[in-house]
Structure 1
Protein backbone atom coordinates (compact mmCIF):
# COMPACT_ATOMS: atom_id res chain seq x y z
CA UNK A 1 0.00 0.00 0.00
CA UNK A 2 1.37 3.38 -0.99
CA UNK A 3 0.78 6.02 1.62
CA UNK A 4 3.68 8.39 1.09
CA UNK A 5 4.94 7.13 -2.23
CA UNK A 6 8.36 6.63 -0.62
CA UNK A 7 9.15 2.93 -0.69
CA UNK A 8 11.44 3.02 2.35
CA UNK A 9 8.73 4.58 4.50
CA UNK A 10 5.77 2.66 3.07
CA UNK A 11 7.60 -0.67 3.38
CA UNK A 12 8.89 -0.02 6.93
CA UNK A 13 6.03 -1.70 8.86
CA UNK A 14 6.41 -4.84 6.74
CA UNK A 15 10.14 -4.94 7.51
CA UNK A 16 9.42 -4.75 11.25
CA UNK A 17 6.84 -7.54 10.88
CA UNK A 18 9.44 -9.69 9.08
CA UNK A 19 11.98 -9.13 11.86
CA UNK A 20 9.43 -9.98 14.55
CA UNK A 21 8.28 -13.05 12.61
CA UNK A 22 11.88 -14.24 12.43
CA UNK A 23 12.24 -13.95 16.20
CA UNK A 24 8.90 -15.61 16.89
CA UNK A 25 9.80 -18.51 14.60
CA UNK A 26 13.33 -18.86 15.98
CA UNK A 27 12.10 -18.93 19.57
CA UNK A 28 8.76 -20.70 19.10
CA UNK A 29 6.88 -17.71 20.49
CA UNK A 30 3.35 -16.71 19.50
CA UNK A 31 3.37 -13.31 21.22
CA UNK A 32 4.41 -10.51 18.88
CA UNK A 33 4.68 -8.01 21.75
CA UNK A 34 7.18 -10.29 23.47
CA UNK A 35 9.26 -10.54 20.28
CA UNK A 36 9.18 -6.75 19.95
CA UNK A 37 10.30 -6.31 23.56
CA UNK A 38 13.18 -8.73 23.01
CA UNK A 39 14.26 -6.96 19.83
CA UNK A 40 14.07 -3.51 21.44
CA UNK A 41 15.85 -4.46 24.66
CA UNK A 42 18.60 -6.37 22.88
CA UNK A 43 19.18 -3.55 20.38
CA UNK A 44 19.33 -1.00 23.20
CA UNK A 45 21.73 -3.10 25.27
CA UNK A 46 23.95 -3.74 22.25
CA UNK A 47 23.93 -0.05 21.30
CA UNK A 48 24.91 0.92 24.82
CA UNK A 49 27.76 -1.60 24.95
CA UNK A 50 29.37 -0.09 21.84
CA UNK A 51 31.33 3.11 21.44
CA UNK A 52 29.35 6.03 20.03
CA UNK A 53 31.05 5.65 16.64
CA UNK A 54 30.43 1.91 16.43
CA UNK A 55 26.82 2.30 17.61
CA UNK A 56 26.25 4.86 14.86
CA UNK A 57 27.87 2.59 12.26
CA UNK A 58 25.53 -0.26 13.21
CA UNK A 59 22.52 2.06 13.28
CA UNK A 60 23.29 3.21 9.73
CA UNK A 61 22.84 -0.37 8.51
CA UNK A 62 19.41 -0.88 10.06
CA UNK A 63 16.13 -0.42 8.17
CA UNK A 64 14.46 2.92 8.88
CA UNK A 65 11.87 1.84 11.47
CA UNK A 66 14.25 -0.62 13.15
CA UNK A 67 16.75 2.25 13.30
CA UNK A 68 14.17 4.35 15.15
CA UNK A 69 13.67 1.57 17.69
CA UNK A 70 17.44 1.24 18.05
CA UNK A 71 17.99 4.94 18.72
CA UNK A 72 14.94 5.43 20.97
CA UNK A 73 16.06 6.96 24.27
CA UNK A 74 19.77 6.87 23.43
CA UNK A 75 22.05 9.18 25.40
CA UNK A 76 25.43 8.95 23.61
CA UNK A 77 27.25 10.57 26.55
CA UNK A 78 26.39 7.51 28.65
CA UNK A 79 27.92 4.96 26.30
CA UNK A 80 29.61 2.64 26.46
CA UNK A 81 28.07 1.54 29.74
CA UNK A 82 30.07 -0.09 32.51
CA UNK A 83 30.29 -2.86 33.49
CA UNK A 84 29.89 -4.66 30.18
CA UNK A 85 30.00 -8.33 31.01
CA UNK A 86 27.89 -11.04 29.42
CA UNK A 87 25.96 -11.47 32.65
CA UNK A 88 25.21 -7.73 32.82
CA UNK A 89 23.98 -7.78 29.22
CA UNK A 90 21.70 -10.77 29.77
CA UNK A 91 20.39 -9.34 33.04
CA UNK A 92 19.61 -6.06 31.34
CA UNK A 93 17.68 -7.71 28.51
CA UNK A 94 15.96 -10.20 30.79
CA UNK A 95 15.02 -7.47 33.26
CA UNK A 96 12.43 -6.10 30.83
CA UNK A 97 10.47 -9.35 31.05
CA UNK A 98 8.92 -8.91 34.48
CA UNK A 99 5.50 -10.52 33.93
CA UNK A 100 6.73 -13.55 32.02
CA UNK A 101 10.51 -13.89 32.47
CA UNK A 102 12.69 -15.18 29.67
CA UNK A 103 13.20 -18.90 30.05
CA UNK A 104 16.70 -18.72 28.56
CA UNK A 105 18.02 -15.17 27.99
CA UNK A 106 21.11 -16.49 26.16
CA UNK A 107 19.00 -18.23 23.53
CA UNK A 108 16.74 -15.18 23.16
CA UNK A 109 19.63 -12.74 22.74
CA UNK A 110 21.39 -15.13 20.35
CA UNK A 111 18.24 -15.13 18.18
CA UNK A 112 18.42 -11.33 17.88
CA UNK A 113 22.13 -11.54 17.11
CA UNK A 114 21.38 -14.15 14.42
CA UNK A 115 18.80 -11.80 12.92
CA UNK A 116 21.30 -8.94 12.87
CA UNK A 117 23.92 -11.19 11.29
CA UNK A 118 21.47 -12.09 8.52
CA UNK A 119 20.18 -8.56 7.93
CA UNK A 120 23.39 -6.51 8.11
CA UNK A 121 26.71 -6.75 6.34
CA UNK A 122 29.34 -9.21 7.49
CA UNK A 123 31.85 -6.37 7.75
CA UNK A 124 29.62 -4.51 10.20
CA UNK A 125 29.02 -7.64 12.26
CA UNK A 126 32.78 -8.22 12.38
CA UNK A 127 33.26 -4.68 13.69
CA UNK A 128 30.47 -5.03 16.26
CA UNK A 129 31.67 -8.38 17.56
CA UNK A 130 35.27 -7.22 17.78
CA UNK A 131 34.09 -4.29 19.92
CA UNK A 132 32.44 -6.66 22.42
CA UNK A 133 34.03 -8.74 25.14
CA UNK A 134 34.72 -12.34 24.16
CA UNK A 135 32.11 -13.75 26.53
CA UNK A 136 29.40 -11.73 24.78
CA UNK A 137 30.89 -12.33 21.35
CA UNK A 138 30.24 -16.04 21.86
CA UNK A 139 26.49 -15.42 21.57
CA UNK A 140 26.96 -14.52 17.89
CA UNK A 141 26.74 -17.99 16.33
Structure 2
Protein backbone atom coordinates (compact mmCIF):
# COMPACT_ATOMS: atom_id res chain seq x y z
CA UNK A 1 0.00 0.00 0.00
CA UNK A 2 1.24 3.47 -0.73
CA UNK A 3 2.04 5.97 2.00
CA UNK A 4 -0.64 8.43 0.85
CA UNK A 5 -3.11 5.94 -0.58
CA UNK A 6 -2.42 6.84 -4.19
CA UNK A 7 0.65 5.64 -6.00
CA UNK A 8 0.64 8.67 -8.32
CA UNK A 9 0.86 11.01 -5.31
CA UNK A 10 3.69 8.96 -3.78
CA UNK A 11 5.58 9.09 -7.07
CA UNK A 12 5.08 12.86 -7.36
CA UNK A 13 6.43 13.40 -3.84
CA UNK A 14 9.36 11.10 -4.56
CA UNK A 15 10.21 12.94 -7.79
CA UNK A 16 10.07 16.33 -6.04
CA UNK A 17 12.31 15.04 -3.25
CA UNK A 18 14.78 13.71 -5.81
CA UNK A 19 15.02 17.15 -7.43
CA UNK A 20 15.46 18.91 -4.09
CA UNK A 21 18.06 16.35 -3.00
CA UNK A 22 19.87 16.88 -6.29
CA UNK A 23 19.96 20.65 -5.70
CA UNK A 24 21.27 20.00 -2.19
CA UNK A 25 24.03 17.76 -3.56
CA UNK A 26 24.96 20.15 -6.39
CA UNK A 27 25.26 23.00 -3.90
CA UNK A 28 27.17 20.93 -1.34
CA UNK A 29 24.59 21.77 1.29
CA UNK A 30 22.71 19.71 3.81
CA UNK A 31 19.69 22.01 3.94
CA UNK A 32 16.68 20.83 1.95
CA UNK A 33 14.61 23.87 2.92
CA UNK A 34 17.26 26.16 1.45
CA UNK A 35 17.57 23.95 -1.64
CA UNK A 36 13.80 24.13 -2.15
CA UNK A 37 13.86 27.94 -1.84
CA UNK A 38 16.75 28.23 -4.32
CA UNK A 39 15.07 25.91 -6.81
CA UNK A 40 11.85 27.93 -6.54
CA UNK A 41 13.64 31.29 -6.88
CA UNK A 42 15.56 30.32 -10.02
CA UNK A 43 12.59 28.56 -11.62
CA UNK A 44 10.39 31.63 -11.05
CA UNK A 45 13.04 33.98 -12.44
CA UNK A 46 13.52 31.86 -15.55
CA UNK A 47 9.75 31.43 -16.01
CA UNK A 48 9.04 35.13 -15.70
CA UNK A 49 11.58 35.94 -18.42
CA UNK A 50 10.09 33.52 -20.95
CA UNK A 51 7.18 34.12 -23.27
CA UNK A 52 3.94 32.51 -22.09
CA UNK A 53 4.26 29.71 -24.67
CA UNK A 54 7.89 29.01 -23.84
CA UNK A 55 7.16 29.06 -20.09
CA UNK A 56 4.39 26.52 -20.66
CA UNK A 57 6.69 24.35 -22.80
CA UNK A 58 9.27 24.25 -20.02
CA UNK A 59 6.62 23.65 -17.35
CA UNK A 60 5.26 20.68 -19.28
CA UNK A 61 8.57 18.86 -18.80
CA UNK A 62 8.76 19.29 -15.03
CA UNK A 63 7.63 16.64 -12.53
CA UNK A 64 4.15 17.25 -11.14
CA UNK A 65 5.03 18.89 -7.81
CA UNK A 66 7.98 20.80 -9.24
CA UNK A 67 5.59 22.05 -11.93
CA UNK A 68 3.29 23.29 -9.17
CA UNK A 69 6.20 25.17 -7.57
CA UNK A 70 7.12 26.58 -10.98
CA UNK A 71 3.61 27.92 -11.65
CA UNK A 72 2.98 29.14 -8.09
CA UNK A 73 2.08 32.84 -8.13
CA UNK A 74 2.54 33.17 -11.89
CA UNK A 75 0.87 36.10 -13.61
CA UNK A 76 1.28 35.25 -17.29
CA UNK A 77 0.09 38.72 -18.29
CA UNK A 78 3.45 40.06 -17.07
CA UNK A 79 5.52 37.72 -19.27
CA UNK A 80 8.07 38.19 -20.51
CA UNK A 81 9.82 40.38 -17.97
CA UNK A 82 12.88 41.34 -20.00
CA UNK A 83 16.24 41.40 -18.31
CA UNK A 84 19.28 42.37 -20.33
CA UNK A 85 22.08 42.15 -17.77
CA UNK A 86 23.32 39.36 -15.53
CA UNK A 87 23.08 41.67 -12.52
CA UNK A 88 19.34 42.07 -13.20
CA UNK A 89 18.85 38.31 -13.35
CA UNK A 90 20.87 37.83 -10.14
CA UNK A 91 18.82 40.56 -8.42
CA UNK A 92 15.58 38.86 -9.51
CA UNK A 93 16.77 35.50 -8.14
CA UNK A 94 17.75 37.15 -4.86
CA UNK A 95 14.38 38.93 -4.63
CA UNK A 96 12.53 35.66 -5.28
CA UNK A 97 14.68 33.89 -2.69
CA UNK A 98 13.92 36.40 0.06
CA UNK A 99 15.66 38.79 2.41
CA UNK A 100 18.40 36.39 3.52
CA UNK A 101 21.49 37.02 1.37
CA UNK A 102 21.97 34.12 -0.99
CA UNK A 103 25.65 34.63 -1.74
CA UNK A 104 27.28 33.03 -4.81
CA UNK A 105 24.16 33.53 -6.91
CA UNK A 106 26.06 32.65 -10.08
CA UNK A 107 26.90 29.24 -8.58
CA UNK A 108 23.27 28.78 -7.52
CA UNK A 109 21.93 29.68 -10.96
CA UNK A 110 24.38 27.34 -12.67
CA UNK A 111 23.40 24.48 -10.35
CA UNK A 112 19.70 24.87 -11.15
CA UNK A 113 20.33 25.21 -14.88
CA UNK A 114 22.51 22.07 -14.71
CA UNK A 115 19.65 20.31 -12.94
CA UNK A 116 17.25 21.37 -15.69
CA UNK A 117 19.78 20.27 -18.32
CA UNK A 118 19.81 16.80 -16.79
CA UNK A 119 16.00 16.43 -16.73
CA UNK A 120 14.62 18.56 -19.58
CA UNK A 121 15.16 17.85 -23.27
CA UNK A 122 18.13 19.49 -24.95
CA UNK A 123 15.84 21.17 -27.48
CA UNK A 124 13.74 22.78 -24.77
CA UNK A 125 16.79 23.98 -22.86
CA UNK A 126 18.17 25.45 -26.10
CA UNK A 127 14.91 27.39 -26.48
CA UNK A 128 15.11 28.55 -22.85
CA UNK A 129 18.71 29.72 -23.24
CA UNK A 130 17.92 31.57 -26.47
CA UNK A 131 15.34 33.65 -24.61
CA UNK A 132 18.15 35.28 -22.62
CA UNK A 133 20.92 37.69 -23.57
CA UNK A 134 24.45 36.40 -24.01
CA UNK A 135 25.41 38.08 -20.73
CA UNK A 136 22.73 36.21 -18.78
CA UNK A 137 23.45 32.94 -20.59
CA UNK A 138 27.00 33.22 -19.28
CA UNK A 139 25.53 32.69 -15.79
CA UNK A 140 24.07 29.40 -17.02
CA UNK A 141 27.46 28.00 -17.98
CA UNK A 142 28.11 25.72 -20.91
CA UNK A 143 25.23 23.55 -22.02
Matched, 1:107 2:115: no
Corresponding residue of 2:121? 121
Matched, 1:134 2:134: yes
Corresponding residue of 1:78? 78
User: 1:12 offset after TM fit, Å?
Assistant: 1.0
Q: What 5-or-longer segments of structure 1 have no aligned partner? A: none
Note if contact 1:27-1:108 (Cα within 8 Å) is conserved in structure 2: yes
User: 1:131 offset after TM fit, Å?
Assistant: 1.5
Corresponding residue of 2:99? 98
Q: What SS is found at the alignment partner of 1:102? A: coil
Distance 2:141 2:72 in 1: 24
Corresponding residue of 2:29? 29
Corresponding residue of 2:57? 57
Note if contact 2:27-2:108 (Cα within 8 Å) is conserved in structure 1: yes
Corresponding residue of 1:5? 6
Q: What 5-or-longer segments of structure 2 have no aligned partner? A: none
Report the number of matched residues: 139
Which deviations, in whole Å up to 9, do the C-alpha atoms of 1:93-117 show, x marking residues without a partner? 1232423x22200000110000000
Note the aligned Cα RMSD (angstroms). Answer: 1.5
Q: What SS is found at the alignment partner of 2:14? A: helix
Note if contact 1:22-1:115 (Cα within 8 Å) is conserved in structure 2: yes
TM-score relative to the length of structure 1: 0.91
Which deviations, in whole Å up to 9, do the C-alpha atoms of 1:52-94 show, x marking residues without a partner? 1100000011111100000000001101113443211111112
